[in-house]
Structure 1
């Protein structure tokens, strides 16, 4: 297994006779023993001294005349991988799977653990079942493990050069409400809202409020972890969609608090949280909720980190469609690019690497004339003109555009190193352009073929919607 390295302190726990004392001994490159812990309500918990990355170690728990020893234990960073089916998507199913599986033996210091599916109406102290106990990667083991989780861990190991522990806990077809505690749901008015009849009958049990939090996350809270990566949101495209801008950030905040407290204050209270912005599903859909969920994944800001979602990072995946995926278009097989984009965010946000570009271009200024709209981005851009993906809302009212507003395509007229100029002529009166949005569709472009990228060509611009009038007046400049 892998335990969390210094400067955090790893937490260990187990079972014993009520009132007995348990002492834990660490032996290996460094040795020490813990202060004896008393078994209370059948459980003991100890916190090790900080241990630098490396190993292997033996960890022995001793109580009276009995002992148990864990062998081949490493210290590194623990990442929890959660979400629904695109996180569950197995390494054997991705593009170039055979090559990836063949690499497994080269990464013995990336260790894997996987919870089994389970549900509970109450918060559990232990997992109902373990699908994969702590294991070194082999082709057989890895074939059933999360591809995004594995690739992220492998890429981070290549960068960090010390052990990585990956804990997979996910279930396909599940909404954020099932992974959220009652505390978090109350913040968004969802504690009693369970419109599960909007979802297929086969999924209703595991979509109930908090049942997966109770059974598949709460038992892990004693563990000291470094961070979380998350891939979920498809199930909320038609289920409490309009509340996702509250429920998702609330879940992140609640997980942070719970892991901090559960680990005896060893998991940092603002641990890094990375997520995948939804990929594609229906090529010709005009209203399936995916654009809105992508926006809500950022708490309606458009990018992360932001004031509402601090120390978060995001992998944009809307330019990675897979029309011929045998697992359905909702499950694209290119998980390598997804994981790579997550690692860029982790390097910048979780590991404080400087000068790592980890977000695609995002507007920081909009100006308009009587015939055009000029968007200035926060970084240099690479622009391809053929398909615009920009739209403008035509409205006579000086107010934010709503669901019934008229949106028309806005052609790209020109572009510069950091800007794109759009035509506003498709409004009957170009001065009536009241909002602009980008890539506001489920399937906006072909594979890596959206119009706006970072200058490196690797990071697509995320979707956005910006209103000219925000209730306090015009926020666009005129030129």
Structure 2
């Protein structure tokens, strides 16, 4: 059926016999378009009412009657369910009432702004299904097969059961953080719904045990794809596009859980799509942290910019628009100079903008080609200047703080790398959307001799 609407759909059944009967069921106001599932933890559950300019944004929802909304209720289950045990918000026409449903209820701010931006571009109906649960780890959203593949045992036997809830300062039930309980109760029941794709904002509750994320996240994406394909009888693409927000910050500090999760979210490539995560797209959020968020620093209020950045990536990856510039600058090479390193960005990054000089570090090692904690330390490498020779942008950082061998460079490797929209390096995306450079770590290879 061609995307559009509203349509009227009739289902007619004839009953033969001595007294023939005709049963007619008529559905009005039916839309045909793309359905996106929005899942994750509290930053996905965070509602429009809680964000920036909430009054204006909620009223503006009245202008989008061709967007339809659904919110699953918060519930877990030890076994896979065929139907949702609870519905927070049944299918609703987008309006001030359906978008402004209250704190932590409906509607998801990121899901809304993402879907609204897509609608503004596509100009055909969009369905948004919010299925998220605050304070939950990825293990809760993963099938038993994924956990077995990644050799993960019960999450709560390995981490402090209270720390997950304490992280977001939101009450939670420990049972809803057990392995697979949200896969069973909030994903499995909707696998018969044909979808265009899914977006994801989760990871904060895995910062206490980030190592397993490297296996779990790509495996969960693959599992969701194959399960939705089977659940819809082949109507959902078995490689459907999957987008995610790279997690934002929380508090200033040197804890490595957050940067390690950001890195593992990309399967340690630093960018997506990549060979291990095909048809996956992301948006960077580490620069949207603010210390004055009334919902605690782990919950950025600026979900509008998140939605814009993520929808831009979706237009390129999910909808195949090759003209879209959707990624922030990513380094192509490193060049060692005299007490400096030149970080070179490829032409595909476009012209870079420097907003601050911090965020770069070098690994200072006593052994070539290694950055082992026993023989090396990370030291700050402040930016000296930025240049654009021969059409290639680059930044030069100082290595004066290292008096040994520089073996690696990393960027934005902090829980909270910068203040609001003031990370060091940005590029200009399509639609004049500034895009922050994502975190990276790159190694210098020095010939042995």
TM-score by length of 1: 0.84
Is this contact kept in 1: 2:3–2:31, CA < 8 A?
no
Query: Mapping of 1:32-431 within 5 angstroms?
Result: 50-60=1-11, 62=13, 68-143=25-100, 144-192=106-154, 194-195=156-157, 197-200=159-162, 202-238=172-208, 240-283=209-252, 285-287=253-255, 289-378=257-346, 379-384=349-354, 386-403=356-373, 405-417=376-388, 418-429=393-404
Q: 1:333 to 1:403 in 2, by over 3 A?
A: farther
SS of residue matched to 1:111: strand
Residue pair 1:177, 1:209 contacting (<8 A) in 2 also: yes
SS in 1 for 2:435: coil
Residue 387 of structure 1 and its aligned partner are, at CA, apart by 2.7
Give the counterpart of 2:424 among 451, 457, 462: 451
Distance 1:115 1:403 in 2: 45
How far did residue 184 of structure 1 move? 1.2
RMSD over aligned Cα, in angstroms? 1.9
Q: 1:441 to 1:160 in 2, by over 3 A?
A: same
**Residue 44 of structure 1 aligns with which residue?**
none
Q: CA deviation at 1:442?
A: 1.2
CA distance in 2, matches of 1:427, 1:147: 44
Query: Any conservation in 2 of the 1:381–1:452 contact (CA below 8 Å)?
Result: no
Does 374-383 or 334-343 show the bigger shift?
374-383
Indicate the residue corresponding to 2:169 in structure 1: none
Q: Is 1:109–1:163's contact at 8 Å kept on the other side of the alignment?
A: yes
Q: Contact 1:299 / 1:309 at 8 angstroms: preserved in 2? A: yes
User: Quick one: distance in 2 between partners of 1:196 and 1:72?
Assistant: 49
User: Contact between 1:196 and 1:207, CA under 8 Å: does it hold in 2?
Assistant: no
Per the TM alignment, residue 364 of structure 1 is displaced from its structure 2 partner at its CA by: 1.0
- Between structures 1 and 2, the one with greater helix share: 2
Residues 191-250 of structure 1 show CA distances to partners (whole Å, capped at 9, x for unaligned) of 455436423174421111110001110111111100101100000001x31010110111
SS at 2:227 equivalent:
helix
CA contact (8 A) 1:169 1:216 kept: yes
**Corresponding position of 1:466:** 442
- 1:386–1:317 CA distance, 2 compared to 1 (3 A): closer
Residue pair 2:384, 2:396 contacting (<8 A) in 1 also: yes
Question: Any gaps of 5 or more consecutive residues in structure 2?
Answer: 16-20, 101-105, 166-171
Return the offset for 1:110.
Answer: 0.3
**More deviation in 412-421 or 108-117?**
412-421
Change (3 A) 1:61 1:214: farther
TM-score of the superposed pair, with normalisation by structure 2: 0.89
Distance 1:141 1:53 in 2: 21
